[in-house]
Amino acid sequence: MAATEYREEQMTGRITGLGSYLPEKLLTNDDLSGIVETSDEWIMERTGIKTRHIADHMKEVPSYMGGIAAQRALEDAGVSASEIDLIVTACSTPDKMFPSMACYVQKAIGNDGCMCFDVSSACPGWLVAFNTAQCFMESGNIRKALVVGTECLSNYVDWTDRGTCILFGDGAGAAVIEADETMPANKFIMHATSNKAECLTCESRMQPDRWEEEGFLKNTYFQMDGRDVFRFAVTEVPKIIKELSAKYEFDLNDVDYFILHQANARIIETIAKRLGQDIEKFPMTVYDTGNISTASIPNLLDRMKKEGKLKKGQKIVMSSFGAGLTWAANYIEY
Ligand code: UT7
């Protein structure tokens, strides 16, 4: 098990492989209208979500789904598991507190010895994992990395709360990134503010001394002020994308795609309008996946690749937002 060779020259990673996993079981808006007082019309109008994939909770746990997405990304890249130097996984709903989800992904792909760890940053977690892997790569310490996002959000949904249960789904997405001397440096911005932390929270259930505390168990499911999160997203995402274009001196009109966190079609449409960009540049999967948190961006990229929409050299902005509050944006060359 040799340590990866250290290289003096700075190299940035290019995405060379993509993979995803979505559970077979679908939950439609009509199904939801049998659970809470809602309707297909209301959900479609306010969110653009029609269906979401729901995991078989005994089998399709985040470590399992992440492992399959990673295997598919390796196959797509034509890279063998033993070539991977680093696995970074983003997951807000892990099935084990430890070992990390990354260690389970390592086991699933059949690697032994590479660096493995998770990052925690809610929905922007996959971008945080991507940027972490890029920093390892640009320091000359790794050449090939797997960046994974995997979630079983349906375990944390309060199925009596119509304000949240309509939004979330389960799934995983992964990318292989490989050091490439022709790549420009990784360009990113990440922000957080804890001033509005309470508008999107989920308490850890494993605090038995608090189980009798009034309202505690309810708080171990997603608690969200939807309007606050909506306002935050449509204000801060356009701002961070403009900040990114100013920092790295590129023109938003030259961007081929804006790959945004798939939380709500209305949020994406508002952001497109505020950036003065054609909605055609904002591909979406939210219609049939719902919000799958850290898995949403790699899942969307994988689908675009399968549909033949991704071409080497395309200029892509990726941006995500979520609990913390945290938000991030990247400008990459595909
Ligand atoms: O990864 C980030 C995660 N979070 C998000 O992205 C959430 C961002 N926020 C949103 O997507 C939207 O705020 C929601 C879709 C959650 C809600 O849409 P909204 O337009 O902000 O609705 P609202 O919360 O202002 O509620 C309007 C009305 C309320 O009724 P009253 O008080 O006006 O009588 C709600 O009780 O709609 C009612 N309502 C519903 N009605 C039918 C709330 N949820 C539902 C529902 N079906 N599912």
**124 is a domain residue:** yes
Examine the pLDDT at 30 and tell me if it is beyond 80.
yes
Q: What confidence score (pLDDT) does residue 6 get?
A: 72
Q: Per-residue pLDDT for 35 more than 80?
A: yes
pLDDT tops 90 at residue 222: yes
Pocket of ligand 1 (CB under 6 A): 38, 42-43, 46-47, 123, 162-163, 166, 224, 226-227, 229-230, 263-264, 291, 322
- Give pLDDT, residue 3: 59
- Which of 29, 264, 291, 299 is flagged as catalytic? 291
Report how far ligand 1's centroid is from the alpha carbon of 222 (Å): 14
For residue 322, what pLDDT is reported?
A: 98
Kindly give, in sequence order, each residue whose CB lies less than 8 Å from that of residue 58, ignoring residues fewer than 6 positions away. none
261 is catalytic: yes
- Give the separation between CA 127 and CA 329, rounded to whole angstroms: 8
Domain extent at residue 275: 187-333
**What's 261's domain CATH number?**
3.40.47.10
* Cα-to-centroid distance, 21 and ligand 1 (Å): 28
Is 74 within a domain?
yes
- State how far Cα 13 lies from the chain centre: 18
How far does the centroid of ligand 1 lie from the alpha carbon of residue 68, in Å?
34
Residue 99 CA to residue 58 CA, distance in Å, equals 19
Same domain, 27 and 169: yes
Distances (CA, A) of 100 to 95, 117, 122, 289: 10, 6, 16, 25
What is the reported pLDDT for 125? 98
Mean pLDDT score, 310-315: 96
Question: Domain ends where: 180, 213, 246?
Answer: 180
- Residue 223: the pLDDT is 97
pLDDT tens, 90-145? Answer: 999 999 999 999 999 999 999 999 999 999 999 999 999 999 999 999 999 999 99
pLDDT digits (tens, 9 = 90+) for 281-298: 999 999 999 999 999 999
Distance CA 131, CA 319 (A): 12
54 and 118, same domain (yes or no): yes
Same domain, 125 and 24: yes
